[in-house]
Amino acid sequence: MKLLSPIIALLLAVLIANSAFIVPEGQSALVLQFGRIEGAGSTAADYKPGLHFKLPLIQQVVRYDRRILNLEAQPERYFTSEKKAVNVDFYVKWRIANPAAYYRSFGADETQTLADQRLAPIIKDALRFEFTARTLNDLIANARSDITENVSKQANQATEGKLGIRVVDVRIKRIEFPDEVLGSVYKRMSAERNRLANEQRSNGQEEAAKIEADADRQVQVIKAEAERDAQEARGEGDAKAAEIYAAAYSKDPDFYAFYRSLKAYREAFKNGGVIVVDPKSEFMRYFDSSNGAGGK
């Protein structure tokens, strides 16, 4: 009897300890009895965080992470509507929405390995459908948000009710060309940029020629107008000078004739040469005059 009491007490302690279980924050739990979910089909089957109790030895507890989980998939090759190959790198954010459905699909998959393996092809098929319906320019420019939204909807239709998984978000990290076509793409891009550059240079040269021709035309016009104005001013000056000369000549014709002769002498003898002239010629008449009046 003395040994029986401690044994009974120990058995009771083990049973009590085995009947209580704790669900940590961020997790949920299912209680299984002979492989079946206790309370299946009701909210009571999903044990929230806290302290709970079960039948010892008969029932087992399976815990699942209820936080948002991450699926990092390997880059996948897809073809656009123009049959151009692209490598797409993406990731998926998902969580367990229905632990009972999740258990029926994957069992006690507490590390989510089986779920990732099942979810990855569903996402890839949805992405393939979206990529084949769009052009490459559309994908690069503004179609990523539409693609991820449509892929999330398609994936949830396939997983939420059957697998107990809800896809929270799908994000495309990169869209790249495969290595075997990347070089040819760069060459086409370089050729296109060179074509545009040559076109711009040609347009620039054409505009420069137009500007230069217009500038030359304006120069000729300005020169012609300046020459015209100069001729007009020169004509007015000559007319004024002739008027002044005429007025001066009319006042003293002899002095004017003497002054004109002096200018002619200066021009004739300024180089120091020899001129043979008849002393009795009209040109030399002021040299014969002793009084400087100039005889006739």
pLDDT of residue 285: 64
Q: pTM value?
A: 0.56
Amino acid at 164: G
Q: Assess whether pLDDT exceeds 50 at residue 292.
A: no
Higher pLDDT, 47 or 121: 121
Element (H, E) at 158: helix 144-159
180: nearest Cα among 87, 90, 88 = 87
Q: Assess whether pLDDT exceeds 60 at residue 263.
A: yes
Q: Assess whether pLDDT exceeds 70 at residue 270.
A: no
pLDDT of residue 269: 66
Give me 290's structure tokens.
Answer: 């002793």
pLDDT of residue 38: 79
Q: pLDDT tens digits, residue range 172-205?
A: 888 887 776 667 667 778 888 899 999 999 999 9
- Dmax over Cα atoms in the chain, in whole Å? 186
Give me 105's structure tokens.
Answer: 């699909």
Mean of pLDDT over the chain: 81
Q: pLDDT tens digits, residue range 50-91?
A: 888 888 878 888 888 889 999 988 888 888 888 888 888 899
| 136, 185 contact by CB (below 8 A) | no
Q: pLDDT tens digits, residue range 125-135?
A: 999 998 888 88
